Structure 1
């Protein structure tokens, strides 16, 4: 999606295309001078630029990862086995128990369920334990200078400089993935500017070390993406033999699906009969099936993959049960 990095592992049954790479235009230092001039016009101080650009250089590890992303086809069953592990559920329950009152406060403020928040937190950074160690400024500058999607990464670099200029984080502490996704929620800088919040009240939006800011920022992202308070994301179902799953956008009231013979796996419905729902079967008629509700699409705004949204919902359901 345009505002944050896309998890390659969440691509639903997609073979990644061969990439074309453009050669960098000009030296890296010329590029930094150009970005610096644009940043100053946007109100970013020279002192911020000096701190941000001090000692950075093209990062070969960033280029290696960007140019050699694997090509593969991934089924939902395989993705589920990788992402929804017993360890992740156990760790999630411990993290949820440790911050139960905080989750309640965040849910009350934003109207987003604790399950959705903890599911994203778990997938993105294993509940804050794996946030990436790349210097975000260096990574974004490398990718913007190198040529592939230069405009996108240049915009993210300028957004990162705005964050530094605001004083939310120091250049050394602004760490993330090789592609610039930052902190525990793995926000791209433009997403940070739109959705990160200072829930702790310390004057900074700290998605690296402040659990209150992390959980509230995830919740704010979902709330701004259309999350409907008091509703779930969906549930596993058993369709009648021969029924085709038309997809998440072909919605009908849940009651109509029930009258057509769709049954909940757990024995009861988790939503009212008038809830709009779409039937999806990620691995086709022989695999699992789910009825998904409008909140499923809010999760997909975070990462536009059915696999990802399903994993978020299923992890959350198991963790907060």
Structure 2
């Protein structure tokens, strides 16, 4: 066992000590403003072995761009993306008017992340993100997302049983919980931010990019102003390149 960042409980490289760590982390969560529902979800969180296995076997960083795009089905995403844009042009045009982000970028992200909502994950979001915060590798990175997930539970946006990706990403475009809390938009006006609702999720994605510095009307290919903003979405270079390339093809 090694000490985590700050004056927190001990992190771990296995599930040993997870329950004791959760008890201590609950104090940090409470100080950060997490209420009872969130604390209950934390108490019920389980160590996510599948999440740890996925975190230690990330292949995207090792692929060439052409291999990555082949594996991710770029041609299919572009073809389906063009159809989606053609079916609902007013929606995407409204997003671009409000946030400045072209339809192609939003659609490419949607297709890449969940095949347009076809598969949004099978891992419990709270358990996954809490496990990654407990794990010693990147505790500091994941801690605000764990707090975010618990606050989303407090707000009723998710529950302890809500499913997402292996790293706790949730909804149509796989927001990390801290980002979901910060950039979420109730675009359909029903009084709640629901990342499993396409309208809310895509508006939230556009809002994230705009808040991260997207410059309306500027380019987003490598070397252009908005490519730096795409980098904020995913850390893998091939992923960033793929979004830019597919976005241009969808909009072209």
Where on the TM-score scale, by shorter chain, does this alignment land: which range? 0.7 to 0.9
Work out the CA distance in 2 between the residues paired with 1:72 and 1:126.
20
In the TM superposition, what are the counterparts of 1:148-297 in structure 2 within 5 Å? 148-173=137-162, 175-208=163-196, 210-234=197-221, 292-297=223-228
Work out the CA distance in 2 between the residues paired with 1:68 and 1:40.
33
Q: Is the 8 A contact 2:65 2:242 kept in 1?
A: no
Aligned residue for 1:171, secondary structure, equals: coil
Q: Is the 8 A contact 2:60 2:239 kept in 1?
A: no
2:91 corresponds in structure 1 to: 102
Q: Is the 8 A contact 1:143 1:150 kept in 2?
A: yes
Work out the CA distance in 2 between the residues paired with 1:101 and 1:132.
29
Describe the superposition over 1:279-304 as per-residue Cα deviations: whole angstroms up to 9, x where unpaired: xxxxxxxxxxxxx3111222122124
Q: Is the 8 A contact 1:168 1:205 kept in 2?
A: yes
1:88 corresponds in structure 2 to: 77
- Alignment match of 1:49 (pick from 39, 51, 55): 39
Higher helix content, 1 or 2: 2
Work out the CA distance in 1 between the residues paired with 2:108 and 2:70.
15
2:127 corresponds in structure 1 to: 138
Work out the CA distance in 1 between the residues paired with 2:173 and 2:112.
9
Higher strand content, 1 or 2: 1
Q: Is the 8 A contact 1:83 1:311 kept in 2?
A: no
Q: CA deviation at 1:43?
A: 2.6
Q: Is the 8 A contact 2:169 2:175 kept in 1?
A: yes
Q: Is the 8 A contact 1:168 1:206 kept in 2?
A: yes
Describe the superposition over 1:229-272 as per-residue Cα deviations: whole angstroms up to 9, x where unpaired: 123324xxxxxxxxxxxxx6xxxxxxxxxxxxxxxxxxxxxxxx
In the alignment, structure 1 residue 315 sits paired with structure 2 residue 221: no
Q: Is the 8 A contact 2:145 2:179 kept in 1?
A: no
Q: CA deviation at 1:104?
A: 1.4
Q: Is the 8 A contact 2:113 2:173 kept in 1?
A: yes
Describe the superposition over 1:74-109 as per-residue Cα deviations: whole angstroms up to 9, x where unpaired: 222222323353322222123223332211111111
Q: Is the 8 A contact 2:37 2:153 kept in 1?
A: no
Q: CA deviation at 1:110?
A: 0.9
Larger Rg: 1
Q: Is the 8 A contact 2:81 2:250 kept in 1?
A: yes
Work out the CA distance in 2 between the residues paired with 1:196 and 1:221.
8
2:27 corresponds in structure 1 to: 37
Unaligned runs of 5+ in 1: 1-20, 235-247, 249-291
Unaligned runs of 5+ in 2: 1-10
Q: CA deviation at 1:55?
A: 4.2
Work out the CA distance in 1 between the residues paired with 2:106 and 2:38.
33
Work out the CA distance in 2 between the residues paired with 1:65 and 1:119.
23
In the alignment, structure 1 residue 302 sits paired with structure 2 residue 201: no
Equivalent pairs, count: 242
